[in-house]
Structure 1
Amino acid sequence: MTPPARLSAAIEVLADIAGRRRPAADALKDWGLAHRFAGSGDRAAIASLVYDALRRRASAAWIMDDDSPRALVIGMLRLQHGLAAPTIAGLFSGDRFAPEPLSDQERARLTDATLAQAPDHVAGDVPEWVLPALETTFGGALLEELRALGRRAPLDIRINTLKHDREAAMAGLTHLAPATTPHAPNGLRIPIGEDGRGPALHVEPEFLDGWYEIQDEGSQLASLLSGAKPGETVVDLCAGGGGKTLSLAAMMNNDGRLVASDDDPRRLAPIHERLRRAGAKAEIRTPRGGRARTDVLGDLDGAVDRVLVDAPCTGSGTWRRNPDAKWRMRPGALAARVNEQAAVLDRAALLARPGGRITYVTCSLIPEENDGAVTGFLARTCGDFAVVPATDVVAAQKPDLAPFLRFTGHGLQMSPALTGTDGFYVATLERRPAG
């Protein structure tokens, strides 16, 4: 497919997303099934155009004074890809498979319109209702952070130190042209192309041999800040597919007791194969569904050294990767996540032994899910737990990371502009000794 034909396809997919109010991934999949002549490169390029248009949905609509799919693509080409009006006009030629030529109004908007007078939620491309929460998190750095949140995310991997150290792995992965991640001690960053595509890492022989896992640097750092050590009893309470479980196993060097569970049994399905591939050891405790549901962790209550709570959240910190999610999120979803966070923190409290610690993690930038959740937990536990200062946690685990973090009332916040990662929050809570 030619570049103009790919633009036409992206406009078609965006129209489907808007018309049926559906996730971008579903619309892209259906488009691919209906247009089997499109190769994998075409589909990837179209997906990149669609996601870039969603990243700049509000600002592109402002620039073009129009929120139609066509207008979003035109505005995105200027704002996200930096193309000049004549270049865009050349792509919108009206030739075979190309979009219709630009109108006089479209040309004028491309030439003259700016974001100088746009409100912050438009200039930063976020829903207006969530802006006050983000202002609380970022303060004077709001627009800088929102612009960073609108860029494409890097492609990071975590070297599995159960098999190789980073230096040895890097020497064996030269064909991927990796660079070390700025902060995570076992991370590598893999270059991506102008179309946003990286190599198919999941089919590389080294991946199949367990050398590495695909994991954002922020997620790697969140695991590191748990401080898990060999010989400890550690529970990954919201393990999902097992990304942080694998990190914990490597930190513990397979020495100790690592238990992974999740309230949704379906999310645990990939973990068994991932553990096998990595050579990692963990007990998987899968709850039963339906009326026969039982607590599969009750025997560990009061005996766990560290509980990692990678809590369900809005995912606002991952909008670089999932730009359509920010436009589909509603205030009611935030309230539901806050309730779920309270429930999982309360379950973690039962597991922690006296002196044991809970590491509470979200991939959220919204204070209600972060410091707010910790404040509620401290009130419910009536003095049984205390916050471990995040400055102390960082000093113990990764002191050189401190300048790249925002320290909050109870924890720390990573962010795209300051840390260069997805937006992760981490807080540490310690059960006070009995008596």
Structure 2
Amino acid sequence: MTPGARVQAAIEILDLVIAAARANGAPADRIVGDWFRTRRFAGSKDRRAVRDLVYAAIRACGPVPVSGRAAMLRLVQEDSNLASLFDGQGHAPAPISPDEPVAAGGVAPPWLELALAESDIAGADALALLTRAPLDLRVNSLKAERDTLELPEPAEPGLAPHSLRLPHGTQVEAWEAYSSGQIEVQDIGSQLVCAALNAQPGELVIDLCAGAGGKTLALAAAMDNRGRLIAADTDRARLSRLEPRAWRAGVTIAETRLLNPNREAEALVDLVGQANAVLVDAPCSGAGTWRRSPEGRWRLTPDQLARYAAVQARLLDLAASLLRPGGRLGFVTCSLLDVEGASQAAAFLTRHPGWTAQDLALGAGEARGPGWRLAPNRDGTDGFFVACFRKT
């Protein structure tokens, strides 16, 4: 592919990404992969170059662009060398007209930028949400030790006790250490907030929103594969991914439970008042993970944010009912918005006067309301809020 053809390919993919964002369709990485699967003429360098253009354009636009071309023209304003590729030759895009629309810049749609600013995320802190994230690993303590693990490429120890950091794009899935379950891909921030629950061997622990089981595997390692660990979720497809991951990691204590949306308590009735600890890694806006999925800020609306907050409150109340006296409730969201963090945690304490918030010492981040917040600019991690409550 010529450089101009690569730009045109990126424009076509951006049109698909924009349409999917408006319709809550497939994520950008899947759209990019599907586009190239039907175009075998593109080599590996072409795919990498086009993908880089797509994501650079997504990051350059604040609100949802009117078109892929408008998004690419926003990128032209940041990289003037691209303008010469709009010459209409071959498969290159048509020349630029002085009056055609150019997407607006910024960190996010205006309403969302305001919500971030009201949560004290502005300036460099907000811009850091659009940088490229490194690749973080968790060394699986059931099979390996960080200090003695040998990997094909050098990795830096991270802030979490079992974490390693590698450059973005490192192909760890091809490594023997990955296939043998010695390492898992997991952001260092995710590891820190998971460790805040302080799961212990022999306990009954519930991962109430387990998804594909990333935090479930980390909890199992912290429990040294001893005790009982319930991984529950309403998404059958995501939950089904846990079993092969657990087998690879050597995790034997994880049990899965499929829950019915809005009727989650029915499948957990036998656990009421029994758990030592419950982790609520609640559904949220994902505003702390835009480094990995920058088009996520185009998908969010004020109504959706309000619905996320309502679900979080309901799941926290459900989790509270599952704990025995003295039990611990960990609340986590991958968001920097207070409505999904400090304000949500404060509201829980208001509804449950018999509970107290625990002091946290994560080794990174800062206090935020009754909990703790990690952010890309300050901590080099994805954005997270975590609070831990104890039932007195």
Per the normalisation by structure 2, the TM-score is 0.89
Q: How is 1:168-183 mapped onto 2 (pairs within 5 angstroms)?
A: 168-169=148-149, 172-173=150-151, 175-181=152-158, 183=159
- 2:356 is matched with 386
Aligned to 1:137: 119
Amino acid in structure 2 at the alignment position of 1:228: A
* Cα drift, residue 329 of structure 1: 0.9
With 40-49 and 214-223 compared, the bigger mean Cα shift is at 40-49
CA distance in 1, matches of 2:204, 2:127: 41
The alignment's C-alpha RMSD in Å is: 2.8
Match of 2:91 in 1: 97
Matched AA of 1:280:
V
Q: Tell me the distance in 1 between the aligned counterparts of 2:112 and 2:16.
A: 25
Residue matched to 2:247: 276
Give, in whole Å, the separation in 2 of the partners of 1:273 and 1:14.
Answer: 34
Instruction: Label 1:336 to 1:264 Cα distance change in 2 as closer, same or farther (>3 A).
Output: same
Greater length-normalized contact order (CA 8 Å, ≥ 6 residues apart): 2
Asked whether 1:147 is paired with 2:127, we answer: yes
Runs of 4+ in 1 over 4 A off after TM superposition: 101-106, 288-294
Distance (whole Å) between structure 2 residues aligned to residue 336 and residue 292 of structure 1: 16
- Assess, with a 3 A threshold, how the Cα gap between structure 1 residues 294 and 144 changes in structure 2: closer, same or farther: closer
Counterpart residue number, 2:292: 321
Kept in 1, the 8 Å contact 2:230–2:257? The answer is: no
TM-score norm. by structure 1 comes to: 0.81
Cα distance in 2, alignment partners of residues 373 and 8 from structure 1: 44
1:70 maps to 69
Partner of 1:117: none
Q: Check the 8 A contact 1:162/1:278 in 2, yes or no.
A: yes
- How far apart are residue 206 of structure 1 and its match? 1.6
Letter in 1 for 2:202: G
8 Å contact kept, 2:137–2:184 = yes
In 2, Cα distance between the equivalents of 1:180 and 1:233? 31
Give the equivalent residue in structure 2 for 1:195.
none
> Does residue 1:187 correspond to 2:163, yes or no?
yes
Alignment of structure 1 residues 104-115 onto 2, 5 Å:
none
Match of 1:166 in 2: 146
How big is the shift at 1:105?
7.8
Please tell me whether residue 410 in structure 1 is matched to residue 333 in structure 2: no
Counterpart-to-counterpart distance in 2, 1:60 and 1:272: 38
Provide the secondary structure at the position in 1 that maps to 2:16. helix
**Cα deviations by residue, 1:24-50 (Å, 9 ceiling, x for unpaired):** 345434422442322454334323321
The CA deviation string for residues 285-334 of structure 1, in whole angstroms up to 9 with x for no partner, is: 32365999873332222222211110111111111111111111111111
CA distance in 2, matches of 1:129, 1:89: 31
CA distance in 1, matches of 2:31, 2:221: 38
Q: Which residue among 322, 325, 328 is the counterpart of 1:354? A: 325
CA, structure 1 residues 282+410, in 2 after alignment: closer, same or farther (shift >3 Å)? same
The alpha-carbon deviation at position 90 of structure 1 amounts to 4.2
Letter in 1 for 2:355: F
1:42 aligns with 2:12: no
* Contact kept in structure 2, 1:414 and 1:422, CA below 8 Å: yes
The equivalent residue for 2:204 is 233
State the one-letter code of the partner of 2:357: V
Indicate yes or no: 2:35 matched with 1:31: yes
Unmatched segments (≥5 aa) in structure 1: 62-66, 111-121, 193-197
In the alignment, what sits opposite 1:126? 108
Conserved? CA contact 1:387–1:428, under 8 Å? yes
Between the aligned partners of 1:178 and 1:94, the Cα distance in structure 2 is: 45
Which SS does the other structure have where 1:342 is aligned? helix
Partner of residue 8, structure 1: 8
Q: CA deviation at 1:71?
A: 4.0
Identity of aligned residues (%): 41
Q: Assess, with a 3 A threshold, how the Cα gap between structure 1 residues 5 and 284 changes in structure 2: closer, same or farther.
A: same
Determine the C-alpha separation between the residues in 1 that align with 2:230 and 2:262.
Answer: 24
Q: Deviations over 1:145-169 (max 9, x none)?
A: 1111111111111111111111222
**Matched pairs, number:** 387
Q: 1-side partners of 2:162 and 2:3: how far apart?
A: 38
CA distance in structure 1 between the partners assigned to 2:250 and 2:389 by the alignment: 30
- Write the deviation string for residues 193-251 of structure 1: whole angstroms up to 9, x where unpaired: xxxxx133223222110011111111111111111122322111111111001111111
Kindly indicate whether the alpha-carbon contact (under 8 Å) linking 2:226 and 2:253 is maintained by their aligned counterparts in 1.
no
Partner of 2:280: 309
Aligned residues of 1:124 and 1:143 also touching (Cα < 8 A): no
